[in-house]
Chain A
Amino acid sequence: MKEPKKGASFLLDTLTPEEIFTPEDLTDEQKMIAETARSFIEKDVLPVLDEIEEHHRFDLTVSLLKKAGELGLLAGDIPEAYGGLGLDKITTMLVTEEFALSRSFALSFGAHVGIGTLPIVFFGNEDQKKKYLPALASGEKIAAYALTEPSSGSDALSAKTTARLNESGTHYILNGEKQWITNSGFADVFVVYAKVDGDKFTAFIVDRDTPGVSTGPEEKKMGIKGSSTRTLILEDVPVPVEHVLGEVGRGHVVAFNILNIGRFKLAAGAVGAAKRVIDISARYAKERKQFDRPIGDFALIQAKLGEMAIRTYAAEGITYRTAGLFDDMLRALGEKVNDGREVARGIAEYAIECSINKVFASEVLDYVVDEGVQIHGGYGYMSEYEVEKAYRDSRINRIFEGTNEINRLLVPGTLVKKAMRGELDLLGAANRLQQELLSLMPTTLSDELFDAEMDMLDKAKKIFLMVAGLGVQKYGEKLEEEQEVLAGVADVVAHIFAMETAILRAQKAVRSVGEDKARGHIDLATAVVHTSFDKIEVLAKDMLAHMESGDLLRTQLSVLRKLTRREAIDIIALRRAIGKRQLQADGYTTNA
């Protein structure tokens, strides 16, 4: 069994391809489950999706969720002891990715199986799990998650909803308003956060049929129009004390742990959606003729499809790798895997990876839908075209589950904490680097596959240590206020994760099928590495110029130049070749 990796340890370690999980490692069983998910979406959901989106036919949503429940598609993350299937995280990620094809329905599904159900899986006591999970697994009951309020968004702990223990001590009386609650139009169970005695942030399970629970009108939104979004209104709602989820005053533990997995699932969905947009854009580019040629014949369209595929390959790689990290961790838990809190703690080890997934994949998707519309030209602006809906639906991903700004800040914040707790020897590494940088010599590279790229990866990690180290040294406690530097560091970290994953994945593919057949992977990974490295260089330069000036800056920049010395590759040709393959395959492909 693999020893689970420490969260964010990729910044310091050198890994082999065997150490990461890649999409090419799926078992036949996992593929068959993904196929069932896809068949369900294509045959049952897509034919009625317009009806749901245009006319808010949530009765259809509810019956489809029930059918998904009958197929076992809602039960993956729920342990067998409570009517679930207790599947691995890779498999449930695959289901999420396939569901993405159904846009807003995928959101109804995600809110139910993810943030709606998981708080009870992770933090429910035995009675709560027995009472709720079987019905949530079968789709008999639908769940929703109520954290946001009109005046508390990113600052979730500032919630104003109150919970007051009644005189007989049997019930908490809840009062307040929860805003933008997905599934609120039809959910039977809400996980609600409220403050006990004014300051004890606490999670509760609230049944819809409790007196005093009501919802506002459906919100009018930019996209995801087929999901139900309303305000949840709580007026003197008596919630039995047995419905406290976790402990009074420990609601933040529930909230933050759910966000970790929620962010990861969001990324998986974004990857699925990005692949779909590449599929429809490639097909459109082949059919649409201008100047007597399919527009896919033109290099600028090929370049677009190429870049869309390159970024999607990077995002896909990190989501699968992260799911693999979860599963190694959960396997290592042994029997304790049935203890939800242990599972949540195991996943929390990868809070940094979860945030990176969220930010990276949601921004890849936004890029992909934007270019998807562009490939469609004027038709892409017309509502009857799928790409127009995908474009609008994508935008929310950068906002919910923690804005991308909050998630960026979390990456360096968590890194510092890990370093302080001695979990990650960043300080030692930064000190050793200081010595090394003084006598830095250019690396001699061989012609071996990925030798140059591995060297770039190594240099990228050094750049991270150099820039982040300087930030800590320079600002100390005040670093919190230097948000651009923090966000810049987060981006460098994300690109390192993406580069490394792409190389290791391609190397694994080469070992399994040989260089010829893995040509698609090699090209995609090469492009990921070089484009990511370009971005790292710019980010580092900007951050150094902000932190230093004069001679000190000149010295730092000269070190950066040494670290970024590299041969240019013909990225234009690479992009074009990758784009052509997407066209040939009628959609997203890693094939040569």
Chain B
Amino acid sequence: MKIVVLLKQTFDTEEKVVIENGVIKEDGAQFVINPYDEYAVEEAIRIKENGDAEVVVVSYGPARVEDALRKALAMGADRAVLIEADHPVTDEAGVAEVLAKAVEKEAPDLILAGNFSVDNGAGQVAPRVAEILGLNHVGAVTKVTLEGDDVVVERDAEGDLERIRTKLPLLLTAQQGLNDPRYPSLPGIMKAKKKPLDRLTLSDLGLGDISPRTTVTNRYNPPKKEAGEILQGDIATQVETLVKKLREEAKVI
């Protein structure tokens, strides 16, 4: 079988985000595989190790994304595809359109992706890809069991556990807890450099310019959190103060 993993490279979660003129500064920043996508990579490799599968990691982004793809190859993926663009479209509809084209070419049995990306956090791209390709989709999975064409999936449903039985082809998104991703071993890292990494352009996929359906009008850091205040006095006084503060300071009522 063939598994495609959709992968995004994101800021290292320990990296400080600096915004300058509405643009996030990337100078000298460390990038990692989006942690949720890393669960997806790990799961694909485990499925491969338990049976027989080819694992292809696919990403859409600038040249620096190669590092993330190489890491996935070092972990054990077989092949990588980078749809390279200096300034990739960042809205979810656009990204999904590009990725869906690439996935269609690969014709996989199973698509794995992260539940959401830790930078933009919309959680839309993978379900959109499933929608474009007319595939079933299960989100936020914490366990995957393959039984031939049947797939048993456990998913995190707002704190409850939902068990779903479905069939390939299928798209799943990985939730935290699905697995504990391995670090690439040294032999794995050395093999990775010999594994194929295809670079495609949008025109290779038969796509013209993609116009985003949304635009970002501004980016700013959340305001600094002020120290909280504990209201004093009996309940009646406290309510009175609270109403006053909500009206005069917060101006919400």
With a cutoff of 8 Å between Cβ atoms, the chain B residues found around residue A39 in the complex are: 183
* CB of B71 closer than 8 Å to a CB of A: yes
* CB of B252 closer than 8 Å to a CB of A: no
* CB of B189 closer than 8 Å to a CB of A: yes
* Distance of A40 Cα from B189 Cα, bound (Å): 15
Number of interface residues of A (CB under 8 A): 19
* Min distance, Cβ A102 to any Cβ of chain B, angstroms: 15
Stretch from A29-37, A113-121, A265-273 at the B interface: A29-37
* Distance of A39 Cα from B74 Cα, bound (Å): 14
Known: A28-B67, A29-B193, A32-B71. A70 touches B186 (CB 8 A): no
Task: Please give the residue numbers on chain A whose beta carbons come within 8 Å of chain B beta carbons, in ascending order.
Answer: 28-29, 32-33, 35-36, 39-40, 43, 70-73, 75-76, 85, 87, 517, 591
* CB of B28 closer than 8 Å to a CB of A: yes
Known: A32-B70, A32-B71, A32-B74. A73 touches B186 (CB 8 A): yes
Q: Which residue of A lies closest to B27 (CB)?
A: A517
Q: Which residue of A lies closest to B28 (CB)?
A: A591
B182-196, CB under 8 A of A: which get 1 and which 0?
011111111011000
Question: Known pairs A28-B70, A32-B184, A71-B186. 7 more at Cβ < 8 A?
Answer: A29-B190, A29-B192, A33-B186, A72-B187, A73-B186, A75-B186, A517-B27
* Distance of A32 Cα from B71 Cα, bound (Å): 8
A32 B28 Cβ-Cβ under 8 A:
no
Contacts of B94-118 to chain A: CB distance below 8 A: none
* Distance of A85 Cα from B186 Cα, bound (Å): 8
* Distance of A213 Cα from B184 Cα, bound (Å): 39
B189 A33 Cβ-Cβ under 8 A:
yes
A70 B185 Cβ-Cβ under 8 A:
yes
B186 A87 Cβ-Cβ under 8 A:
yes
B183 A29 Cβ-Cβ under 8 A:
no
* Min distance, Cβ A77 to any Cβ of chain B, angstroms: 12
With a cutoff of 8 Å between Cβ atoms, the chain A residues found around residue B183 in the complex are: 35-36, 39-40, 43, 71
* Min distance, Cβ B128 to any Cβ of chain A, angstroms: 31
Q: Which residue of A lies closest to B74 (CB)?
A: A32
Contacts of B176-233 to chain A: CB distance below 8 A: 183-190, 192-193
A36 B190 Cβ-Cβ under 8 A:
no
Q: Which residue of B lies closest to A86 (CB)?
A: B190
Of the candidates B28, B186, B192, the one whose C-beta lies within 8 Å of that of A72 is B186
A36 B184 Cβ-Cβ under 8 A:
yes
5 A-B pairs within 8 Å (CB atoms) are namely: A29-B193, A33-B186, A36-B185, A36-B189, A72-B185
* Distance of A33 Cα from B189 Cα, bound (Å): 7
* Distance of A28 Cα from B28 Cα, bound (Å): 15
With a cutoff of 8 Å between Cβ atoms, the chain A residues found around residue B189 in the complex are: 29, 32-33, 36
* Min distance, Cβ B12 to any Cβ of chain A, angstroms: 11
What are the 10 closest A-B residue pairs judged by CB atoms, nearest first? A72-B186, A39-B183, A36-B183, A71-B185, A72-B185, A32-B189, A72-B187, A36-B184, A33-B189, A591-B28
* Min distance, Cβ A581 to any Cβ of chain B, angstroms: 12
With a cutoff of 8 Å between Cβ atoms, the chain A residues found around residue B187 in the complex are: 72, 85
Q: Which residue of B lies closest to A72 (CB)?
A: B186
Q: Which of A35, A73, A517 has the most CB of B within 10 A?
A: A35
* Distance of A586 Cα from B185 Cα, bound (Å): 29
* Distance of A31 Cα from B52 Cα, bound (Å): 31
With a cutoff of 8 Å between Cβ atoms, the chain A residues found around residue B186 in the complex are: 33, 36, 71-73, 75-76, 85, 87
